[in-house]
Amino acid sequence: MRTVVFDIETANWMSDTGSGDPADLTIALVCIHDSETDTYSSYLENELHSLWNVLERTDLLVGYNSNHFDVPLLNKYYPGDLTRIKSLDIMHEVHAILGRRLKLDAIAEGTLGEKKSASGAQSLQWWRAGEIEKVREYCLKDVEITKKIFDYALANSSVKYKELGKTHEVRLDTSKWLAESRNAMTYTLGF
């Protein structure tokens, strides 16, 4: 099963758009890990057309807060419908058990003993300052962390999170995460 773990950094913030809809934002770049090639890659907004071929042959999209944020925003750019690809939002899975949202950093620290390298706000500052490589590095690190959490959850049917200095475990039903999906995909033209 081909799995793509992904994350998006934006070129603006919701306060810039006057909207609470993630699809109103502008993509700065998208970073992915492709299980088929076991590689990480990134795509600036003007390079997204190169990403479509990968996504159209993906069985599972994995992200963190991706169903609410990343998929709708990326779908704005895609000429088809990315919601037809099976999607796994780790934040949503944890929220369904705990009844509240946790930051990726809390799960990364509890599960992996790692912290994120920066924040979305810092990434936006770098982007606005023209420091694209810092944004790319940050986004790739978030993808790496998300992939490690995904792999851990599959192996252990749980993740952990740090809160107030204590580590807590969240049991997850991962049994269907890698199950085949028969959704029809709409493809871009030209291949």
CB 120 within 8 A of CB 9: yes
Mean local confidence (pLDDT), 34-46: 97
pTM of structure: 0.92
- In order of 79, 158, 181, the CA distances from 31 in angstroms are 19, 25, 24
Looking at residue 186, its amino acid is T
- pLDDT band, very low/low/confident/very high, at 15 (cuts 50, 70, 90): confident
Residue 4: phi and psi, rounded to 5, are -120, 115
Q: Which residues are within 8 A (CB) of 129 and not within 5 positions of it... i.e. 6 or more apart? A: none
Start-to-end Cα distance in the chain: 22
Which domains are delineated in the chain? 3-171 (3.30.420.10)
The confidence score (pLDDT) of residue 18 equals: 85
pLDDT exceeding 90 applies to what percent of the chain? Answer: 82
Burial class (CB in 10 A: 0-12, 13-18, 19+), 163: exposed
Instruction: Check pLDDT > 90 for residue 188.
Output: no
Taking CA atoms, 172 is separated from 37, 93, 143, 156, 161, in Å, by 27, 7, 20, 9, 13
> Is the separation of the CB atoms in 153 and 172 below 8 Å?
yes
Q: Tell me the pLDDT band of 131, cut-offs 50, 70 and 90.
A: very high
Residue 9 has pLDDT above 60, yes or no: yes
Residue 191 has pLDDT above 50, yes or no: no
The residue-averaged pLDDT of 67-80 equals 94
d(CA 172, CA 156): 9
Average pLDDT over residues 90-95: 97
Whole-number Å distance between alpha carbons of 108 and 116: 7
